[in-house]
Structure 1
Amino acid sequence: MRILLSTYGSRGDVEPLAALGAALQALGVEVRVGAPGDEEFAALFARAGVPLVPAFASVREWAKEMVRRRSVSSPEDVAKLISTQAAEIVARQYDVLTTAADGCDAVVAFGLFPSCAAARLVAEQKGIRYMLGTFCPIWLPSAHNRPHQYPGYPLPPDVTDNRALWDFDIATKNALFGGAINGHRASLGLPPLDNVRGYVFGDPVLLACDPTLGPWQPSDLIEAVQTGALILPDERPLPAALEAFLAAGAPPVYAGFGSIAVAKEAARAAIEAIRAHGRRIVIARGWAELVPIDDWDDCFAVGEVNQQALFRRMATAIHHGGAGTTIAVARAGAPQVVVPQIGDQPYWAGRVAALGIGAAHDGPTPTAQSLSAALETALAPETRARATAVAAKVRSDGAEVAARFLLGELGRRAH
């Protein structure tokens, strides 16, 4: 069997597909991955031994520009921007995936909704199987949770029935993405859709997140098969200079904020808060290219490193709450402070707090004082003990489970 895995997004949307691709290859499946061709991702797939087909554009600069433009625009203007960008992504990603899917029996799509729509269109045109994958339960229709609220399309404040809100979500996705998807369908001679969400989501959906961290409660609105998180094993040693820093004192606190809009401000606040607790700092440069705020020797900046090894050496980790970082810290048994910004980050922050393995920062804009208060919770001995206990429950075989499910499900559909 030949399977094309597709995604468009940041690191948290890309690295899991390297893990899934490697697991599928171990089962004898021929795999290729359509993903952003940024240098760091190319190196990642080379390390995993999984062929990469570069997506329509690098994601790093594209994401930075989208964050910048959304931060200075009204909700209505952001909605227009989303729709405009969706049309570009659908058209350009469709062209790339059409070639990438040659000879494939199935397409499994993750990442941004318009990119998944392009994958679904390619599967339809080629007459091959399709499945959606996601990394967080809140993206799926369920009576147990509310849908995501998009800029310019607030959820009705007087509606409390989650089922009704998920019906509203169909209309929202039609408004935001229907023009892009149906416009491209028209160019292919295909009829329009009146429910683009149902078309892109399909049924069932692969839910690739850990059942302890993000449990799925069965829903009659959609079938989801939860497999555990897709984790790529990493055996790389830490750099010698970092090892020397770690060995020179007590375990430090990690601070990393990915590509979020307030990364630089959050990093300064984190450094000040960590110092207030008498701890040293490991700061991740990330897409914001963070650096220490001064020349003190208590702060060490790292680039691309083995986070699985690094987090095991941390007293705690402060981060923005992406699915990948949250699971990596939890697996390492380190407490965490989550400073959520957008998307599923508030969900993961809430789960960290509910499980007692750290603290959820109140609001998206941290200060030294607010982070210091959160660190009080994260650095408490009982939080460390709870984080250690939860780490023992986190699945390590999610990629293998997902690969076996896909092989069985897609193979069954072929007959």
Structure 2
Amino acid sequence: MLWSCGSRGDVEPLVALAARLRALGAQALMCAPRDSAERLAELDVPLMPIERLPRDRANPATAGVHTQFDQAAAAAQDCDVVVASGLLSGAAAVRSVAERLGIPYFYVVWSPIHLPTALDPAQRQQFNEGADGLFGGVINDRRAALGLPPVRNVFDYALTDRPWMAADPVLAPLRPGVEAVQTGAWILPDERPLPADLAAFLAAGPPPVYVGFGSSGGAEDAARVAVEAARAQGCRVILSRGWYDLALPDDATDCFAVGEVNLQALFGRVAVAVHHDGTGTTHVASQAGAPQILVRQIVGQVYYSERLVELGAGAAVDGPAPTFDALSAALRTALAPRTRERAAAVAGRMRTDGAAVAARMLLDAVSREKPPVSV
């Protein structure tokens, strides 16, 4: 069972893992929100829909935990191993159910910044106290109903002593003392051809600047400024409509809008990729050797933006709506020949087998009857 109650960025790596498990002859059940159904149907991966958390004005955390326990218990009955990501309360419920069933449980993160041992002790304890205060009581009530002992430090419990990290060692090297099982990024090769009209646009001029912000807040303002800054540098633009169905600013022929396309193929043909610093997008662009501009939206995204700058493979600006001057300066850096050289060097060092490595590890955990948590 693969569980995530998150966005497309949280679910997509698990889709890659599911595909690799199936290639090895194993069955994979995805537990994810209903909006993942179309993507999973493309790969013939079964979906057990999980509902997003109910709105309980008196105690939303409590209502959510009950829902998560019920959903996890229903999904995991015939499973041999479970993998969870994302929402802390949901992961605690999933691990509790796995513990009751006596099957292995693994938690996966997408960035070193989310690893418990990457936090200083005071910060880690603050996370544990916060989680215990929010939903520790209801988690232990539900555990008692399953015949399980109470737990303290729910943050540590959900993430385990040694989480898995689905991130490339080049982009996310582990510092000494930081504990994780690093598999490499979970990215499924995309063989889809680019649409004919997009291919024609690419062929009609120099490599354009890609602008896309997924489901990030402030996408409309950020995209508008990015298009203006790219045009000021004499660049053509490909604008990803994303969740907010962004529109081109005008009918000029130097801009082209796209929906869902093969970014692995597209990023190999752009001058720069300007995006929201999502882990998956950062990895795909890096594998393609594209210089990047990462627009930082939330605290957890700071890691990859700083790492790309450190590697010399791109630039970073603060979001959610960067200024024209900030994006213009970032574009000058990203368009420099040295930046493209460094981006190509990064691409040459990255591995592409992360999901396959993780799939083999999961099957090994089952066949060898390893302990029921990652330790």
Asked if TM exceeds 0.5, the reply is yes
| Structure 1 match to 2:364 | 408
- Is the CA contact (8 Å cut-off) linking 1:19 and 1:48 kept in structure 2? no
Tell me if structure 2 keeps the 8 A contact 1:141–1:219: no
- Where does residue 122 of structure 2 map in the other structure? 164
Whether 1:250 aligns to 2:206 is yes
Give 2:152's aligned residue: 194
Which residue is 1:311 aligned to?
267
Q: Which residue among 344, 347, 350 is the counterpart of 1:391?
A: 347
Equivalent position of 1:26 in the other structure? 23
TM superposition shift of 1:13? 0.6
**Equivalent residue for 2:308, pick from 352, 358, 367:** 352
Name the counterpart of 2:234: 278
Cα offsets for 1:214-255 (capped at 9, x unmatched): 1122437xx411010001111001111111111111111111
- Secondary structure of residue in 1 paired with 2:107: strand
Query: Could you tell me the TM-score, scaled by structure 1's length?
Result: 0.84
Give the match for residue 8 of structure 1: 5
What corresponds to 2:108 in structure 1? 133
Check conservation: 1:283, 1:299, Cα contact below 8 A. Answer: yes
1:51 aligns with 2:51: no
84 and 357 in structure 1: CA distance in 2 versus 1, 3 angstrom threshold: farther
| Aligned match for 1:334, one of 290, 297, 308 | 290
- Write the letter of the residue equivalent to 1:129: P
Q: Which moved more, 1:123-132 or 1:10-19?
A: 123-132
Helix, strand or coil at the partner of 1:361: strand
Change over 3 Å in CA distance of 1:328–1:297 after alignment to 2: same
User: Contact 1:93/1:115 (CA < 8 Å) preserved in 2?
Assistant: yes
Indicate the residue corresponding to 1:157 in structure 2: none
Match of residue 328, structure 2, among 363, 368, 372: 372
- 2:220 pairs with 1:264: yes
What is the aligned length? 371
Moved more, 105-114 or 225-234: 105-114
Of 281, 289, 307, 1:325 maps to: 281
Q: Secondary structure at the match of 2:171?
A: coil
Aligned-partner Cα distance in 1 for 2:180–2:169: 12
Are 1:42 and 2:17 matched, yes or no?
Answer: no
Is 2:116–2:159's contact at 8 Å kept on the other side of the alignment? no
Tell me which residue corresponds to 1:225: 181
| Equivalent position of 2:98 in the other structure | 123
Question: SS at 1:87's partner residue?
Answer: helix
Structure 2 distance, partners of 1:315, 1:198, is 42
Residue 250 of structure 1 aligns to a residue whose secondary structure is coil
d(CA) in 2 for partners of 1:7, 1:218 = 29
Can you list the C-alpha shifts for 1:258-279, whole angstroms capped at 9, x where unaligned?
A: 1122111101111111111111
User: Quick one: distance in 2 between partners of 1:203 and 1:26?
Assistant: 29
Contiguous gaps of at least 5 residues in structure 1: 67-79, 147-161
Q: Deviations over 1:53-75 (max 9, x none)?
A: 21214x9xx9xxx9xxxxxxxxx
AA of the residue aligned to 1:52: L
- For residues 124-146 of structure 1, the C-alpha deviation after alignment (integer angstroms, 9 at most, x for no partner) is 3323221111111111122xx44
- Partner Cα separation in structure 1 for residue 259 and residue 63 of structure 2: 31
Root mean square deviation, CA, Å:
2.3
Q: Per-residue displacement from partner, 1:361-387 (whole Å, max 9, x unpaired)?
A: 145430222111111111100000000
Matched, 1:101 2:98: no
Structure 1 residues 300 and 167 mapped into 2: Cα distance closer, same or farther (>3 Å)? same
Cα distance change of structure 1 residues 187 and 266 upon mapping to structure 2, 3 Å threshold: farther
Greater Cα offset, 48-57 or 329-338: 48-57
> Which whole-Å CA distance do the structure 2 matches of 1:177 and 1:350 have between them?
33
Distance in 1 (alpha carbons) for counterparts of 2:363 and 2:61: 30
Partner of 2:29, secondary structure, is: strand
Give ranges in structure 2 of 5+ residues lacking alignment: none
Q: Tell me how far 1:308 sits from its aligned partner.
A: 0.5
Asked whether the 8 Å contact 1:14–1:35 carries over to 2, the reply is yes
Following the alignment from structure 2 to structure 1, what is the Cα–Cα distance between the partners of residues 263 and 247?
A: 18
TM-superposed CA distance for 1:404, in Å, is: 1.3
TM-score by length of 2: 0.92
**Residues 309-351 of structure 1: per-residue CA shift (max 9 Å, x gap):** 1111110011110100100100010000001111421111111
Given that residues 104 and 365 in structure 2 are in contact (C-alpha distance below 8 angstroms), is that contact kept between their aligned partners in structure 1? Answer: no
